[in-house]
Structure 1
Amino acid sequence: MRDQEGKAATFRSLHRRAEPFVLFNIWDAGSAKAVGEAGASALATGSWSVAAANGFADGEKVPISLVLDNARRIVEATGLPVSLDIESGYGVSSEEVAGTIARVAATGVIGCNLEDSFPADGSMRPLAMQAERIAAARRAADAKCPGFFINARTDIFFQVAAHDEAMADTAIERARAYADAGADGIFVPGLVDEALIARVCAAVPLPINVMVGERSPSLERLATAGVARVSHGPGPYLAAMAALRAAASHALAGAP
């Protein structure tokens, strides 16, 4: 437990406004070792990648027993802090989410992502409902691992393609409520507009996490905007599978 709490403290210390640290997302023990050997300061799973690697679709389709067993294997394979993407908590009620988070913390991971959309269709949960779920997760996490890092994810920027200041203000409202409920960080995947990222960072008291892609600002620009944490989502898994396909095609074609 003390080792887990120490890793949680280390992970928390990496979150510094305008000094983003990078999470090159993993999906199993093997990818954890590879990314750790590359010099990572911490590790985090991506639910899409874990699902795809095990033959499932994303959206809590992976059995929770498999998710937790995979987390244990990753923790055992590395000495780094590990955060688990647990999607929306594998539970309908806040009590069920609390039970899930207790089981998550028992694997040895030191944090999780917890999103505010319904896994069935991606629509947004009511704000009060999600705040209650985060508060329940907070209580459960503290009982198992003091300092456990809850990264509250808002999916507002996945709802429509056109992003504007009104959407950013909605994200800010949610982020502040999640902070009051006990979240430690705010994850805003789908947001790539630099001005809107800066708007969210300036208005939210917690460290902001963005997910990068082809249209994202550079790491330097994200730092200027105030970002504290950068995730790569399914990108690493997709790149690995592309390299595997290319190597397999080369070998199967009989090339030397």
Structure 2
Amino acid sequence: MSVFADLHRGDEPLLLPNAWDHASATALAAQGFRAIGTTSLGVAAAAGLADGASATRDETLRLALALGSQPYLLSVDAEDGYSEDPDEVAEFARELACVGAVGINLEDRLGSVALHAAKIAAVKSAAPDLFVNARTDTCWLGDGDGDGDGEETTARADAYQRAGADGVFVPGLTDPADIAALVERLHAPLNILYTPTGPTVPHLADLGVRRVSLGSLLYRRALGAALEAAAEIRAGRAPHGATPSYDEVDALSRRGDLTHSDGP
């Protein structure tokens, strides 16, 4: 079992923050997070592309190349694998593994169960050591009440586990009773997307959740803080909140293969 897989089976769930660039990943690692995920929304937004549209394959691979050799474990949000062809998805996963990623997140978008299972199987064949987190969107794209279709969720999770998935991710699932029931039905670790209005991390741990992802939350919070600061300055007030210095951010952004000029 890999070190990353072990983090899903400890006394506490793996709390996985999601970065969108080198500086954010390095800053999170400096806070003691042993594993860092990427957020597809942050990657897409930085490139001026739509999230969830299979448009950011190259950008995602470039970010993985920048982060994969760093002293933390990297899991990559690869949307649906950027292709309907399982062999192409497997090749992308192999490339991620080659640049140092230890995990991949693949979403089904409520498409064909058989196709998503085939993608998972192909990835496990091409990159057997890559931790495949199989995401089903039964709650995320469902009726919005946070419970979704429990039978559909379980059926999809079962199919993905049989295909070789190492973990199951159900974003949008927030009802504690439904979470606990799903944990009982799974043999793979359950990943839940944290939401400020849902259960706390300690509560999720008590329910048996083994991985808690922050998704795009940190990126959206950072953008919100930037907008608040701009509004405060425009209104003649000094902005509040933590503000890293220029030198601190520059240090977070440095990679050994890059050179930096001085000045803002």
TM-score range relative to shorter protein: 0.7 to 0.9
Whole-angstrom CA distance in 1 between matches of 2:192 and 2:208: 11
Whole-angstrom CA distance in 2 between matches of 1:17 and 1:116: 27
> Normalising to structure 1: TM-score of the pair?
0.86
Kindly indicate whether residue 138 of structure 2 is the aligned counterpart of residue 138 of structure 1: no
Whole-angstrom CA distance in 2 between matches of 1:109 and 1:243: 30
The residue aligned with 2:166 is: 184
Greater relative contact order structure (CA < 8 Å, 6+ sep): 1
The residue aligned with 2:93 is: 101
- Contact persistence 2:93–2:123 (CA under 8 A): yes
Q: Deviations over 1:139-165 (max 9, x none)?
A: 1112xxxx210000011112222455x
Alpha-carbon distance, 1:17 to partner: 6.9
Q: Deviations over 1:182-206 (max 9, x none)?
A: 1100000010000000111110000
Alignment of 1:173-252 (within 5 A): 173-252=155-234
Whole-angstrom CA distance in 2 between matches of 1:72 and 1:223: 32
- Contact persistence 2:117–2:160 (CA under 8 A): yes
Alpha-carbon distance, 1:61 to partner: 4.9
- Contact persistence 2:55–2:82 (CA under 8 A): no
Alpha-carbon distance, 1:28 to partner: 0.8
Change (3 A) 1:163 1:230: closer
Question: Which consecutive residues of structure 1, in runs of 5 or more, have no partner in the other structure?
Answer: 1-7, 118-123
Whole-angstrom CA distance in 2 between matches of 1:62 and 1:247: 31
Alpha-carbon distance, 1:116 to partner: 0.8
Kindly indicate whether residue 30 of structure 2 is the aligned counterpart of residue 44 of structure 1: no
The residue aligned with 1:14 is: 7
Alignment of 1:105-144 (within 5 A): 105-117=97-109, 124-142=110-128
The residue aligned with 2:25 is: 32
Whole-angstrom CA distance in 2 between matches of 1:96 and 1:148: 16
Name the larger-Rg structure: 2
The residue aligned with 1:120 is: none
- Contact persistence 2:54–2:83 (CA under 8 A): no
SS at match of 1:157: coil
Q: Deviations over 1:20-57 (max 9, x none)?
A: 12111111101001111111121001111221233222
User: Equivalent of 1:23, from 12, 16, 20?
Assistant: 16
Change (3 A) 1:157 1:212: same
The residue aligned with 2:143 is: 160
Change (3 A) 1:250 1:161: closer
The residue aligned with 1:80 is: 72
Number of equivalent positions: 237
- Percent identity reads 39
Whole-angstrom CA distance in 2 between matches of 1:75 and 1:38: 18
Whole-angstrom CA distance in 1 between matches of 2:221 and 2:145: 27
Structure with the larger helix share? 1
SS at match of 1:160: coil
Question: Which consecutive residues of structure 2, in runs of 5 or more, have no partner in the other structure?
Answer: 239-264
- Contact persistence 1:72–1:107 (CA under 8 A): yes
CA RMSD of aligned residues (A): 1.8
Alpha-carbon distance, 1:91 to partner: 0.9
Q: Deviations over 1:77-124 (max 9, x none)?
A: x3000000000001112122112212222221111001111xxxxxx1
> Normalising to structure 2: TM-score of the pair?
0.84
Whole-angstrom CA distance in 1 between matches of 2:96 and 2:143: 31
Alpha-carbon distance, 1:254 to partner: 4.4
